[in-house]
Amino acid sequence: MSTSLLHKAYDSRLFNEQGNDLVQQISHYLAQNISGEAPTMNAWVDPQEEYAFWKAYTNENHPTPSFFETVLKRSIHIHHPHCIGHQVAPTVPVSALATLLSAQLNNGMAVYEMGQASSAIERVVIEFFAETIGWANGDGFLTSGGTLANLTALLAARKAKASSDVWNEGHGRKLAIMVSEEAHYCVDRSARIMGLGEAGIIKVPVGDDYKIRVDLLQQYYNKATQDGFEVISVIGSAPSTSTGIYDDLEGVSAFAKANNLWFHVDGAHGGAAIFSKKYKHLVNGIAEADSVIIDGHKMMGTSSITTAVLFKNTADSYATFSQKAQYLWEQNDDPDWYNYAKRTFECTKSMMSLRFYAILNAYGVAFFDDFVTTLYDSGRTFSEVLKQHPDFEIALEAQSNIVCFRYTAGISKAKIQEVNKTIRKQLLEEGEFYIVSTVLKGEMWLRTTFMNPFTTEAHTQKLIEKIRTIAKKL
């Protein structure tokens, strides 16, 4: 029997009240942050202290609007133009609204009847990606994040290229993949999950330009086969995470073709360059890939987490998993595009297609061009500006919206890393700017990713001044 508590929990008038209040709060947050009027990002709170805060909070009786307000205040504000850290998009509000709708509808998506509109919309979104890449018979689906997407694509690679039926019979020969040493760690993780082990992950060095050494691919491949490995795939990064530098996809593709390998492009961050008239040349060769992944929550402005897994050939998108699930579908090998769980890692998944479609519907494809182009312009401009300041050095010329640099004025080489570590720590603790760090060829660098189209040169000039002020006090 339903209790009064259950009635209260589902009360539509209460939802209306609290929902309106939340929308007001988020609107205020957006106005304050996008304009940069909010004084700072959040000041740092030690994890143990934050935990203690929320632990105590559960014992107090807070009205829901005040709970939301407290979460807002104590969270990182990635819509602030001083937030130039990791690669998470400041969500386009219409995409957030779509997520709210999907969160409340909670259509399960595993099979068509569990989410009719969102399943059909997913196909439209996938076709939009495939056509932009330039594929006539492309296909795919959406999944929960780049990490899972890379794993899914590599499982498809194994299905297509391994000489044994690993899915049904387990491993026969030792399998291997080839990838740049600068690739995102999730590629390494995927390979280990697939049982390839450390030896099955052939890390190819990058050159001074941080691109995979295409000239070494054949040599590394020959060595692996001599050592008894069956190489199934080569992966191109578009771009790699630390530097934002794109691999030479045409070069990698030619190598893949010559050796009958599956060519996968990890475009989690910058695959969306396909939408930029100015920057699409960075992904020349992407149409030759067998599979590509592109994150929405990075360079396309959607809320997290939502990733497109795309295949050049429709059939490959159905081949990855082969599973009997009579309570969901009758035939395992039907290419029924609308029963997505046959092809995705997830069974239940969120109605993520709405997050892309809401943007497309409201602003058209031009939004994605503007977004990528503006952010890449910002990264390149910052890289140029830094070159004009002799007290800073850049690790390499920015190709995208990721810029690695450090403060060097009057600091001995031995101390540069230590000083920059302290700079980054102080920035984090004070909360006025959010930037991160990375290690390139064994050395620590400050790292910025321009994710906010409203971050201007005036903001980055302030960052430069702030770093100088911190450094001078050290």
Ligand X SMILES: Cc1ncc(COP(=O)(O)O)c(C=O)c1O
Q: Which of 313, 307, 312 is nearest to 344 (CA)?
A: 307
Q: Closest separation between CB of residue 237 and ligand X, Å?
A: 6
Which residue, 111 or 309, is less far from ligand X as judged by CB? 309
Q: Closest separation between CB of residue 238 and ligand X, Å?
A: 8
Instruction: Count CB atoms within 10 A of the CB of residue 375.
Output: 26
Which residue, 38 or 149, is less far from ligand X as judged by CB? 149
Query: Contact between 237 and ligand X (CB under 6 A)?
Result: yes
Which residue, 184 or 349, is less far from ligand X as judged by CB? 184
* The only residue of 119, 132, 143, 147 in contact with ligand X, by rule CB under 6 A: 147
Query: Contact between 346 and ligand X (CB under 6 A)?
Result: no
* The only residue of 81, 138, 146, 301 in contact with ligand X, by rule CB under 6 A: 146
Q: Closest separation between CB of residue 172 and ligand X, Å?
A: 29
Bridge-partner residues for 223, per DSSP? none
Which residue, 307 or 448, is less far from ligand X as judged by CB? 307
Which residue, 188 or 336, is less far from ligand X as judged by CB? 188
State the pairing for strand pair 139-143/201-204: unpaired
Q: Closest separation between CB of residue 268 and ligand X, Å?
A: 3
Both tokens of 151, joined, read: 């794993």
Q: Are 272 and 298 in contact (CB under 8 A)?
A: yes
Residues numbered 295 to 314 that lie near ligand X (CB under 6 A) are 295, 305, 307
Strands of 174-180's sheet, edge to edge? 139-143, 307-311, 291-295, 262-267, 229-237, 174-180, 201-204
Which residue, 190 or 426, is less far from ligand X as judged by CB? 190
Which residue, 132 or 306, is less far from ligand X as judged by CB? 306
Query: Contact between 212 and ligand X (CB under 6 A)?
Result: no
The one-character DSSP state at 411 is: -
Query: Contact between 244 and ligand X (CB under 6 A)?
Result: no
Q: Closest separation between CB of residue 225 and ligand X, Å?
A: 27
Binders of ligand X: how many residues, by CB under 6 A? 14
Residue type present at position 102: S
Provide CB contacts within 8 A for 141, sequence distance 6+.
122, 126, 308, 309, 317, 340, 343, 344
Provide CB contacts within 8 A for 80, sequence distance 6+.
33, 34, 36, 38, 41, 452
Which residue, 269 or 355, is less far from ligand X as judged by CB? 269
Exposure of 76 in the CB half-sphere (CA atoms within 13 A): 19
Residue with structure tokens 């890379």?
Answer: 150
Query: Contact between 241 and ligand X (CB under 6 A)?
Result: yes
Q: What is the DSSP string of 220-284?
A: HHHHHHHTTEEEEEEEEESS-TTT-PPP-HHHHHHHHHHTT-EEEEEETTTGGGGG-TTTGGGGT
Which residue, 81 or 270, is less far from ligand X as judged by CB? 270
Which residue, 141 or 337, is less far from ligand X as judged by CB? 141
Q: Closest separation between CB of residue 23 and ligand X, Å?
A: 27
Query: Contact between 288 and ligand X (CB under 6 A)?
Result: no
Q: Give the interface segment with ligand X, choosing from 139-147, 161-169, 279-287, 370-378 (CB under 6 A).
A: 139-147
Q: What is the DSSP string of 278-336?
A: TTGGGGTTGGG-SEEEEEHHHHS-PPSS-EEEEESSTTHHHHS-----TTT-S-SS---
Query: Contact between 269 and ligand X (CB under 6 A)?
Result: yes
Cα separation, 413 vs 267, in Å, equals: 35
Q: Closest separation between CB of residue 307 and ligand X, Å?
A: 6
Q: Give the interface segment with ligand X, choosing from 63-71, 141-149, 349-357, 464-472 (CB under 6 A).
A: 141-149
Q: Closest separation between CB of residue 230 and ligand X, Å?
A: 25
The rounded radius of gyration (Å) of the Cα atoms in the chain is 24
Residues numbered 249 to 268 that lie near ligand X (CB under 6 A) are 266, 268
Cα separation, 38 vs 73, in Å, equals: 11
SS3 404: strand
Query: Contact between 350 and ligand X (CB under 6 A)?
Result: no
Query: Contact between 184 and ligand X (CB under 6 A)?
Result: yes
Q: Closest separation between CB of residue 39 and ligand X, Å?
A: 29
Residues numbered 28 to 47 that lie near ligand X (CB under 6 A) are none
* The only residue of 85, 138, 140, 145 in contact with ligand X, by rule CB under 6 A: 145
Residues numbered 69 to 128 that lie near ligand X (CB under 6 A) are 87
SS3 7: helix
- Interacting residue ranges for ligand X, rule: CB under 6 A: 87, 145-147, 184, 186, 237, 241, 266, 268-269, 295, 305, 307
